[in-house]
Chain A
Amino acid sequence: MRFVFSVATGVVFGIGIALSGMMDPAKVLNFFDIAGAWDPSLAFVMGGALAVALPGYRLALRMGGPMLANRFDLPTATRPDARLIGGSAIFGIGWGIAGFCPGAAIPALGTMRWEVALFLSAVIIGFMLRRMAFPAPRPKEIPR
């Protein structure tokens, strides 16, 4: 049941990514190119996502617990630190170079483009390098 629910959730997310234009690096890079061929579409993606997720999370987290699991498993870190800021800065640089982010690239793999497979392989190498350079983040600070 949990597995079927996960697949269905992945399909909803993936169709959302496909419709949104996030899967198209040319469009993503144009969103950031304010000085050039600016395409503001992606502001509507985040606006639409938050229009649902802000009230939806509020309602969901008001339930005693999730429907198919024992408890809500939320990140426990609350204070910004150097890893958060440095990591986010590095992530943004990579996003600006490639035009893909992980949430767009995973569904894009379904289009069988070799560029997506190459990018995601490099992302996994990046995960490995992070684990070697900064082993075991403080407990409960596991990336999600």
Chain B
Amino acid sequence: MDTVFTPWSSLQGGLLIGLAAVMLMAGLGRVLGATGILSGLVFAASRGEAGWRLGLVIGMIAAPAILWALTGRLPRIEVPAGPGMLVAGGILVGFGASLGSGCTSGHGVCGLARLSRRSMIAVPVFMATAAATVFVIRHVIGG
């Protein structure tokens, strides 16, 4: 299925994502990595660890409603994966991002922004395996 090429809104979204990462570093001195925020919230050992992460998650979840109030539009979501693939993909995402110390936001934005050598390796690795997986699903298995 085709999707529309949206360079302008994707760039705008990217600028805001970068801004949020800088806000969190300048304000709280923390890396804005979704994997660390979610796992740190689920397995928080203290209220101090949980509080700021909970705030971030609440703000993130509220964002689509705020965008809808401002523009009258909700972001488009089309999910090609069925329930089984969502569960399998989710388990691999959680396991892998946790083992690899980060995901798209942690390594791809924050890690690259501070020129981390580990992130410079992690990002091409997960991009390559994601592309290979999509190729296999769509062109080898799916045909």
Contacts and interface: CB of A to CB of B under 8 A. Distances in A.
Nearest to B73: A18
A77 B107 CA distance: 13
B72 interface: no
Contact size class for A?
35 or more
Interface in B5-59: 5-7, 9-40, 42-43, 51-59
Given A92-B125, A102-B97, A115-B79, A2 B12 contact: no
Contacts of B97: 87-88, 91, 101-102, 123, 126, 143
B3 A30 contact: yes
Nearest to A109: B61
A75 B25 CA distance: 12
A130 B98 contact: yes
A46 B7 CA distance: 11
Contacts of B131: 32-34, 92, 96
Contact of A11 (B12, B62, B102, B135): B62
Contact of B59 (A9, A33, A118): A9
Contact of B15 (A33, A48, A73, A143): A48
Contact of A57 (B25, B51, B106): B25
Nearest to A83: B99
B92 A86 contact: no
Given A60-B26, A87-B101, A110 B89 contact: no
A74 B31 CA distance: 7
Interface residues of B, number: 117
Contact of B103 (A3, A41, A91): A91
Given A85-B125, A90-B99, A33 B91 contact: no
Where chain B touches its partner, the secondary structure class is helix
Contact of B93 (A59, A66, A68, A126): A126
Contacts of A32: 127, 130-131, 133-135
B60 A110 contact: yes
B14 A92 contact: no
A106 B57 contact: yes
Contacts of B80: 25-26, 29, 99
Contacts of B65: 110
A93 B96 contact: yes
9 contacts: A6-B55, A19-B13, A27-B3, A50-B113, A57-B110, A88-B121, A93-B130, A103-B103, A107-B64
Closest 8 CB pairs of A and B: A126-B94, A10-B59, A48-B14, A14-B63, A87-B100, A20-B13, A122-B90, A98-B89
